[in-house]
Amino acid sequence: MEQSGQLYDEASTIFSPDGRLYQVEYAREAVKKGSTTMGFKWKGGVLLLAHKPETSKLINLRSLEKIYQIDDHIACAATGLVADGRHLVELAREEAQWNKIRYDEPISVRDLVDILGEYEHMYTRFDGVRPFGVVLLVGGVDDTGRHLFSTDPSGAYLGYKAVCEGKKSTEAMNQFTKSYTSDISFDQALTLGLQSLKKITKKPLNTEMVEAAVIDEKDGYSKLEPEALKRFVEKHLSEEK
């Protein structure tokens, strides 16, 4: 028979004596083991970067998707449990389409993140379910400006100017604190992201393992091809050792 004192460690709906929900914290641990993802607000939009895990040389890296388009003006990068991320992405896409049908206008970035947060929070309040072991970096541009949010398995979310989640995210955030400025250009943001990836992985930068997408104020969502990233690295980072 299980000891009653351990129940708060097994259920997501029971607080521990010191006021913690351990299942939510365990979900956060799953995120820390996920691939490194980054987001930046630059003066013309939002940039999302994701580092793909090289678990086997036999895997086709182009089949690994870490950044997802939600709408013409919104995208997200996921780190943590891939299946959990896909589930939330599908929910986000459905809500974005329903908003167009109901109100004949694109959904705002904050409204979409608020819906995701409420949905994730619901999975911390009922028996028989578990928190989502994933964090979404949601970036987009709407009538109120440029937005970048990071969700949490608890259902909370925060807005950022620059953010990193996943492996060695603390190291990257320290670098962002030193180097990020509010008037940063796209080239500067992409350079900062790639430099940070290179430093925390401690390996030569392989653009085949990097996924990048931009949400531009004028042109909306677009994805950067590996060839374009490679040319960018050769132009802007080739002098680095």
pTM for the model: 0.91
Alpha helices in the chain (DSSP H): 7-10, 22-32, 82-103, 109-122, 169-179, 186-201, 226-236
- Domain-embedded: residue 13: no
- Domain-embedded: residue 207: yes
How high is the pLDDT of residue 155? 96
Choose between 211 and 11: higher pLDDT.
211
Which residues, in sequence order, are CB contacts of 35 under 8 Å at separation 6+? 50, 51, 52, 53, 66, 79, 166, 167
Q: Which tens digit of pLDDT belongs to each residue from 14-34?
A: 788 888 888 898 999 999 999
* End-to-end C-alpha distance for the chain, whole angstroms: 59
Q: Which tens digit of pLDDT belongs to each residue from 142-152?
A: 999 999 999 99
- Domain-embedded: residue 1: no
pLDDT bracket for residue 240 (50, 70, 90): low
How high is the pLDDT of residue 44? 94
- Domain-embedded: residue 210: yes
pLDDT bracket for residue 7 (50, 70, 90): low
- Domain-embedded: residue 73: yes
Q: How many CB atoms lie within 10 A of CB 239?
A: 6
> CA-CA distance, 113 to 26, in Å (whole number)?
22
pLDDT at residue 231 is higher than 60: yes
Amino acid present at 52: K
Of the candidates 182, 170, 224, the one whose C-alpha atom is nearest the C-alpha of residue 36 is: 170
pLDDT at residue 2 is higher than 90: no
Amino acid present at 1: M
Percent of the chain with pLDDT over 90: 71
Q: Which two tokens stand for residue 231?
A: 């040319």
- Domain-embedded: residue 237: no
pLDDT at residue 241 is higher than 80: no
Q: Which tens digit of pLDDT belongs to each residue from 187-221?
A: 999 999 999 999 988 888 888 889 999 999 999 99
Tally the domains of the chain: 1
> CA-CA distance, 69 to 58, in Å (whole number)?
27
Please check whether residue 221 is in contact with residue 213, taking contact to mean a CB–CB distance below 8 angstroms.
yes
Q: What CATH number should be reported for the domain holding residue 78? A: 3.60.20.10
- Domain-embedded: residue 97: yes
- Domain-embedded: residue 12: no
Domain that holds residue 37: 26-232
How high is the pLDDT of residue 127? 81
pLDDT bracket for residue 1 (50, 70, 90): very low
Q: Which tens digit of pLDDT belongs to each residue from 43-71?
A: 999 999 999 877 677 777 777 889 999 99
Q: Which tens digit of pLDDT belongs to each residue from 97-138?
A: 999 999 999 999 999 999 999 999 999 988 888 999 999 999
